[in-house]
Amino acid sequence: MRLTVIGSAAGGGFPQWNCNYRLSRGARDGEANFRARTQSSLAASANGHDWVLFNASPDIRQQIAVTPELQPRADGPLRSTPIRAVILTNADVDHIAGLLSLREREPFTIYATRRVLDVLESNSIFNVLDREIVHRRELPVGKSTDILDAQGNPVGITVETFAVPGKVALFLEDKSKASEGFGTKEGDTIGLRIASNDGATAFYIPGCAGIDAPLRERLSGADCLFFDGTVYTDDEMITAGVGTKTGARMGHMYISGEGGSLAALADLGIRKRIYVHINNTNPILDAASPEHAAVVAAGWKIAFDGMEVRL
């Protein structure tokens, strides 16, 4: 199975269009220790020809333009795509807005929980994706699903869905229910176990507010994990002076310290550990920073656009 990180940043990308914090400024100025990154998405294929996208970021056109595997074949018909399905892990804008760029009547299948499908259903702009061409299929939480293309043919990939601690998408928050997670419901945030027919497996969890005992047990001994690397410290957006929300308030756990993901996932025997969905305030984006060095020393890789993993 081939897995390609086509977008490694959190919402807004890196550098973010309106951000003048030192990290975004360094990336914008072309400093050698920074890589520009687009918004969060992963591509997977069991055969190198049929591809599944995990989340559709607002940068999807750019991501396809720099990823030959996702482009029409040179000897193919006048219009075509190797993208057979798009799987959504939540309804965040940076994970669903890219669907609108896939509206040119190419057949593929959208997979999501019932909760996320209802979000698409309630917003008529997604009707630009013709239902007779782009099918929508439910991913039941807690079950495995063989991924099919729009014609009903298997693409060689199976996903198992499981609930992870998270939060309802920002634009769906009900502030009157702040003490109840702003209206968060089952199916708002999921993790995925991705498996190919040859037995290769990987976990994809780009959004996660905490690691509990069942999640640790699930991830123990995994071949590969792509995990939420949004913030290094819970209050980094506040200390950077660019926002008022903590990582927890946004539905993301932090990396460092006793309560961070670096420690929580340290002793589980996971062979490949990769941070994705990295916010523009996270110092691990600076390859010369001590935070970057600490993450690498702990055995993690920091995802970048175009990063490929073969299992």
Is residue 186 over pLDDT 80? no
* pLDDT at residue 227 in the model: 98
Query: What pLDDT was estimated at residue 156?
Result: 97
Region 238-251: mean pLDDT is 94
Q: Strand pairing partners for 194?
A: 159, 202
Contact predicate 273/225, CB 8 Å: yes
pLDDT exceeds cutoff 90 at 97: yes
Using CB atoms within 10 A of its CB, is residue 154 exposed (0-12), middle (13-18) or buried (19+)? middle
Give residue 123's pLDDT.
95
Q: How much of the chain exceeds pLDDT 90, in percent?
A: 91
pLDDT at 173: 77
Going by C-beta distance under 8 Å and a sequence separation of 6 or more, which residues neighbour residue 6?
38, 41, 42, 43, 53, 63, 64, 67, 70, 305, 306
CATH architecture for the domain at 2-306: 4-Layer Sandwich (3.60)
Task: Give the largest Cα separation in the chain, rounded.
Answer: 56
Please tell me the least confidently modeled range out of 48-52, 174-178, 188-192, 239-243: 174-178
Q: Residues near 14 by Cβ (< 8 Å), separated by ≥ 6?
A: 23, 24, 27, 36, 37, 278, 280, 285
Mean pLDDT on 292-307: 98
pLDDT per residue as tens digits for the range 58-88? 999 999 999 999 999 999 999 999 999 999 9
pLDDT of 107-159, one tens digit each?
999 999 999 999 999 999 999 999 999 999 999 999 999 999 999 999 999 99
H helical segments located in 230-278: 236-240, 261-264
In 61-112 the beta strands, taken as DSSP E runs, fall at 83-87, 108-112
Count of residues making up the chain: 311
Q: Does residue 309 register a pLDDT over 80?
A: yes
Q: Collapsing DSSP states into helix, strand and coil, what is residue 238? A: helix
The domain segmentation of the chain, as residue ranges, is 2-306
Contact predicate 247/228, CB 8 Å:
no
Residue 179 clears pLDDT 90, i.e. is over it: no
274 forms beta bridges with: 226, 301
CA-based R_g, the chain, Å:
18
Residue 183 banded pLDDT, cuts 50, 70, 90? confident
- Cα separation, 265 vs 166, in Å, equals 18
Residues 6+ apart with CB under 8 A from 298: 262, 266
- Please, are residues 227 and 261 in contact by the beta-carbon 8 Å criterion? yes
Kindly tell me the burial class for residue 205, based on how many C-beta atoms sit within 10 Å of its own C-beta (0-12, 13-18, 19 or more): buried
Q: What was the pLDDT predicted at 218?
A: 97
Q: Return the amino acid letter for 114.
A: R
Tens of pLDDT, residues 2-57: 999 999 999 999 999 999 999 999 999 999 999 999 999 999 999 999 999 999 99
What value does the mean pLDDT take over residues 258-266?
96
Report phi then psi at 95, rounded to 5.
-115, -15
pLDDT value of position 185: 77
Within 10 angstroms of residue 39's Cβ, the number of other Cβ atoms is 30
Of 178, 265, 257, 168, nearest in space to 225 by CA: 265
